[in-house]
Amino acid sequence: MNKKIQLQDLGTKDFKDTWDYQETLFKAILDTKIKNRREDAGLITENHFLFVEHPHVYTLGKSGDLSNLLLSESQLAEKGATFYKINRGGDITYHGPGQIVGYPILDLDNFFTDIHKYLRFLEEVIILTLAEYGLKTERSPGETGVWLDVGTPFARKICAMGVRASRWVTMHGFALNVNADLGYFDHIIPCGIRGKAVTTLNNELGVDSVNENEVKVKLLKHFSALFEANFV
Protein backbone atom coordinates (compact mmCIF):
# COMPACT_ATOMS: atom_id res chain seq x y z
CA MET A 1 0.00 0.00 0.00
CA ASN A 2 1.27 3.45 -0.94
CA LYS A 3 0.73 5.87 1.94
CA LYS A 4 2.67 8.72 0.37
CA ILE A 5 0.52 11.70 -0.63
CA GLN A 6 1.75 14.24 -3.15
CA LEU A 7 0.95 17.69 -1.78
CA GLN A 8 0.30 20.72 -3.96
CA ASP A 9 -0.79 24.21 -2.89
CA LEU A 10 -2.38 25.74 -5.98
CA GLY A 11 -2.81 29.18 -4.42
CA THR A 12 -5.79 31.06 -5.88
CA LYS A 13 -7.22 29.12 -8.82
CA ASP A 14 -10.47 29.15 -10.77
CA PHE A 15 -12.93 26.49 -9.64
CA LYS A 16 -13.51 24.96 -13.08
CA ASP A 17 -9.78 24.79 -13.83
CA THR A 18 -9.21 23.08 -10.48
CA TRP A 19 -12.10 20.69 -11.04
CA ASP A 20 -10.64 19.72 -14.42
CA TYR A 21 -7.25 19.16 -12.79
CA GLN A 22 -8.84 17.00 -10.08
CA GLU A 23 -10.56 14.95 -12.78
CA THR A 24 -7.21 14.40 -14.53
CA LEU A 25 -5.57 13.09 -11.34
CA PHE A 26 -8.67 11.06 -10.44
CA LYS A 27 -8.80 9.41 -13.88
CA ALA A 28 -5.08 8.57 -13.80
CA ILE A 29 -5.54 6.68 -10.53
CA LEU A 30 -8.63 4.89 -11.86
CA ASP A 31 -6.80 3.94 -15.06
CA THR A 32 -3.95 2.44 -13.03
CA LYS A 33 -6.39 0.43 -10.93
CA ILE A 34 -8.19 -0.86 -14.00
CA LYS A 35 -4.88 -1.86 -15.60
CA ASN A 36 -3.86 -3.67 -12.43
CA ARG A 37 -7.16 -5.54 -12.36
CA ARG A 38 -7.10 -6.53 -16.01
CA GLU A 39 -3.42 -7.29 -16.41
CA ASP A 40 -2.24 -7.95 -12.86
CA ALA A 41 0.29 -5.21 -13.60
CA GLY A 42 1.23 -4.55 -9.98
CA LEU A 43 1.42 -0.79 -10.52
CA ILE A 44 1.38 1.53 -7.50
CA THR A 45 -1.47 4.02 -7.39
CA GLU A 46 -0.70 7.61 -6.48
CA ASN A 47 -2.41 9.78 -3.86
CA HIS A 48 -2.74 13.55 -4.08
CA PHE A 49 -3.80 16.40 -1.80
CA LEU A 50 -4.57 19.85 -3.22
CA PHE A 51 -4.89 23.04 -1.22
CA VAL A 52 -6.60 25.85 -3.11
CA GLU A 53 -8.47 29.10 -2.66
CA HIS A 54 -11.18 29.83 -5.21
CA PRO A 55 -12.55 33.15 -6.45
CA HIS A 56 -16.22 33.59 -5.44
CA VAL A 57 -18.16 30.54 -6.65
CA TYR A 58 -21.27 28.57 -5.73
CA THR A 59 -21.34 24.83 -6.41
CA LEU A 60 -24.32 22.47 -6.33
CA GLY A 61 -23.86 18.77 -5.64
CA LYS A 62 -25.54 16.09 -7.73
CA SER A 63 -28.30 15.57 -5.14
CA GLY A 64 -28.76 19.29 -4.54
CA ASP A 65 -31.76 21.54 -5.11
CA LEU A 66 -31.21 24.50 -7.43
CA SER A 67 -33.77 26.52 -5.46
CA ASN A 68 -31.19 26.74 -2.66
CA LEU A 69 -29.32 29.27 -4.83
CA LEU A 70 -31.05 32.57 -4.15
CA LEU A 71 -29.41 34.60 -6.95
CA SER A 72 -30.26 34.99 -10.63
CA GLU A 73 -27.58 34.85 -13.32
CA SER A 74 -27.40 38.64 -13.45
CA GLN A 75 -27.13 38.87 -9.66
CA LEU A 76 -24.32 36.31 -9.69
CA ALA A 77 -22.47 38.52 -12.17
CA GLU A 78 -23.04 41.58 -9.96
CA LYS A 79 -21.50 39.70 -7.04
CA GLY A 80 -18.53 38.64 -9.18
CA ALA A 81 -19.43 35.00 -8.57
CA THR A 82 -19.79 31.94 -10.78
CA PHE A 83 -21.99 28.85 -10.42
CA TYR A 84 -21.44 25.18 -11.28
CA LYS A 85 -23.45 21.98 -10.94
CA ILE A 86 -20.85 19.36 -10.05
CA ASN A 87 -20.43 15.63 -9.41
CA ARG A 88 -19.86 15.52 -5.66
CA GLY A 89 -22.36 14.58 -2.98
CA GLY A 90 -24.20 17.17 -0.95
CA ASP A 91 -26.17 20.29 -1.80
CA ILE A 92 -25.07 23.87 -2.42
CA THR A 93 -22.05 25.57 -0.94
CA TYR A 94 -19.88 28.64 -1.41
CA HIS A 95 -16.14 28.92 -2.01
CA GLY A 96 -14.17 32.14 -1.94
CA PRO A 97 -11.24 34.14 -0.61
CA GLY A 98 -10.36 33.48 3.01
CA GLN A 99 -11.48 29.86 2.81
CA ILE A 100 -9.09 26.90 2.85
CA VAL A 101 -10.27 24.23 0.42
CA GLY A 102 -8.70 20.78 0.59
CA TYR A 103 -9.11 18.17 -2.13
CA PRO A 104 -7.74 14.72 -1.18
CA ILE A 105 -7.57 12.54 -4.30
CA LEU A 106 -6.75 9.23 -2.69
CA ASP A 107 -6.88 5.58 -3.57
CA LEU A 108 -8.55 4.35 -0.41
CA ASP A 109 -7.21 0.86 -1.15
CA ASN A 110 -3.98 2.36 0.18
CA PHE A 111 -5.66 3.27 3.47
CA PHE A 112 -9.05 1.69 4.21
CA THR A 113 -12.07 0.94 2.04
CA ASP A 114 -14.83 2.66 4.00
CA ILE A 115 -16.38 5.89 2.73
CA HIS A 116 -18.22 6.53 6.00
CA LYS A 117 -14.93 6.25 7.90
CA TYR A 118 -13.26 8.48 5.31
CA LEU A 119 -15.80 11.27 5.87
CA ARG A 120 -15.55 10.93 9.64
CA PHE A 121 -11.74 11.16 9.38
CA LEU A 122 -12.02 14.34 7.28
CA GLU A 123 -14.29 15.81 9.95
CA GLU A 124 -11.86 14.72 12.67
CA VAL A 125 -8.98 16.49 10.90
CA ILE A 126 -10.95 19.74 11.13
CA ILE A 127 -12.12 19.14 14.70
CA LEU A 128 -8.56 18.48 15.92
CA THR A 129 -7.20 21.49 14.01
CA LEU A 130 -9.77 23.88 15.44
CA ALA A 131 -9.19 22.49 18.94
CA GLU A 132 -5.68 23.93 18.68
CA TYR A 133 -7.36 27.35 18.49
CA GLY A 134 -9.43 26.63 21.59
CA LEU A 135 -12.65 25.88 19.69
CA LYS A 136 -14.89 22.95 20.59
CA THR A 137 -16.36 21.79 17.30
CA GLU A 138 -18.32 18.64 16.57
CA ARG A 139 -20.39 16.65 14.12
CA SER A 140 -24.10 17.23 13.67
CA PRO A 141 -26.08 13.98 13.30
CA GLY A 142 -27.15 13.46 9.70
CA GLU A 143 -25.33 16.60 8.50
CA THR A 144 -21.83 16.08 7.11
CA GLY A 145 -19.33 18.76 8.08
CA VAL A 146 -18.09 20.43 11.26
CA TRP A 147 -20.21 22.61 13.52
CA LEU A 148 -20.27 24.61 16.73
CA ASP A 149 -23.03 24.52 19.38
CA VAL A 150 -24.85 21.57 17.83
CA GLY A 151 -28.33 21.03 19.27
CA THR A 152 -28.76 24.66 20.30
CA PRO A 153 -30.44 27.63 18.57
CA PHE A 154 -26.91 28.92 17.91
CA ALA A 155 -25.68 25.99 15.82
CA ARG A 156 -23.36 27.19 13.05
CA LYS A 157 -21.25 25.46 10.44
CA ILE A 158 -17.57 26.24 10.03
CA CYS A 159 -16.57 23.56 7.52
CA ALA A 160 -18.54 22.05 4.63
CA MET A 161 -17.73 18.73 2.99
CA GLY A 162 -18.70 16.89 -0.16
CA VAL A 163 -16.90 14.06 -1.91
CA ARG A 164 -17.12 11.81 -4.93
CA ALA A 165 -15.76 8.27 -4.93
CA SER A 166 -15.44 5.59 -7.60
CA ARG A 167 -13.60 2.26 -7.20
CA TRP A 168 -12.43 3.63 -3.82
CA VAL A 169 -10.80 6.69 -5.40
CA THR A 170 -11.89 10.03 -3.89
CA MET A 171 -12.11 13.61 -5.11
CA HIS A 172 -13.53 16.95 -3.92
CA GLY A 173 -13.25 17.37 -0.14
CA PHE A 174 -13.65 20.10 2.48
CA ALA A 175 -13.97 23.87 2.68
CA LEU A 176 -12.92 25.45 5.98
CA ASN A 177 -14.02 29.03 6.62
CA VAL A 178 -10.99 30.81 8.06
CA ASN A 179 -11.26 34.47 7.02
CA ALA A 180 -14.14 34.18 4.53
CA ASP A 181 -16.72 36.90 3.85
CA LEU A 182 -19.88 35.48 5.43
CA GLY A 183 -22.05 37.82 3.36
CA TYR A 184 -21.74 35.48 0.40
CA PHE A 185 -23.53 32.74 2.34
CA ASP A 186 -26.62 34.96 2.56
CA HIS A 187 -27.32 34.20 -1.10
CA ILE A 188 -27.77 30.45 -0.62
CA ILE A 189 -29.38 28.01 1.78
CA PRO A 190 -26.03 26.45 2.77
CA CYS A 191 -26.02 22.70 2.19
CA GLY A 192 -29.81 22.96 1.87
CA ILE A 193 -30.16 23.34 5.65
CA ARG A 194 -32.52 26.11 6.73
CA GLY A 195 -32.29 28.01 9.99
CA LYS A 196 -28.65 27.33 10.78
CA ALA A 197 -25.87 29.87 10.53
CA VAL A 198 -22.38 29.75 9.05
CA THR A 199 -19.25 31.04 10.76
CA THR A 200 -15.50 31.54 10.27
CA LEU A 201 -12.45 30.87 12.41
CA ASN A 202 -11.50 34.54 12.67
CA ASN A 203 -15.08 35.42 13.67
CA GLU A 204 -15.11 32.79 16.41
CA LEU A 205 -11.74 33.98 17.72
CA GLY A 206 -12.76 37.64 17.54
CA VAL A 207 -9.75 38.64 15.44
CA ASP A 208 -9.41 40.43 12.11
CA SER A 209 -7.66 37.51 10.44
CA VAL A 210 -6.02 34.16 11.11
CA ASN A 211 -2.79 33.04 9.44
CA GLU A 212 -4.01 30.59 6.80
CA ASN A 213 -0.61 28.99 6.24
CA GLU A 214 -0.48 28.17 9.93
CA VAL A 215 -3.91 26.52 9.68
CA LYS A 216 -2.73 24.46 6.68
CA VAL A 217 0.26 23.15 8.64
CA LYS A 218 -2.06 22.01 11.43
CA LEU A 219 -4.49 20.40 8.97
CA LEU A 220 -1.69 18.41 7.33
CA LYS A 221 -0.34 17.30 10.71
CA HIS A 222 -3.67 15.84 11.77
CA PHE A 223 -4.44 14.40 8.32
CA SER A 224 -1.07 12.64 8.29
CA ALA A 225 -1.62 11.19 11.77
CA LEU A 226 -5.17 9.95 11.15
CA PHE A 227 -4.45 8.45 7.74
CA GLU A 228 -0.96 7.24 8.77
CA ALA A 229 0.30 9.00 5.65
CA ASN A 230 3.39 10.93 4.59
CA PHE A 231 3.16 14.11 2.53
CA VAL A 232 5.79 14.54 -0.15
Percentage of residues in the chain having pLDDT higher than 90: 85
Residue 192 counted as an annotated binding residue: no
Residue 161 counted as an annotated binding residue: yes
Question: Could you give the CA distance from residue 43 to residue 201 in angstroms, rounded to a whole number?
Answer: 41
Q: In what order do the strands lie in the sheet with 92-95?
A: 82-85, 57-60, 92-95
Residue 231 lies in a domain: no
CATH number of domain containing 87: 3.30.930.10
Residue 209 lies in a domain: yes
Residue 171 counted as an annotated binding residue: no
- Beta strands at 99-105 and 169-177: parallel, antiparallel or unpaired: antiparallel
Amino acid 136: pLDDT: 98
pLDDT digits (tens, 9 = 90+) for 135-190: 999 999 988 899 999 999 999 999 999 999 999 999 999 999 999 999 999 898 86
Range of the domain at 21: 4-226
Residue 189 lies in a domain: yes
50, 60, 191, 198: the active-site residue: 191
Residue 147 lies in a domain: yes
Interhelix angle 212-227/115-131, rounded to 10 degrees, is 140
Is 132's pLDDT higher than 70? yes
Alpha helices in the chain (DSSP H): 15-39, 73-78, 115-131, 201-205, 212-227
**Would residue 191 show up in a list of annotated catalytic residues for this protein?**
yes
Residue 173 counted as an annotated binding residue: yes
Q: Model pTM?
A: 0.95
pLDDT digits (tens, 9 = 90+) for 187-208: 988 655 666 789 999 999 999 9
Query: Domains in the chain: how many in total?
Result: 1
- Residue 175: name the closest of 91, 100, 103, 104 by CA: 100
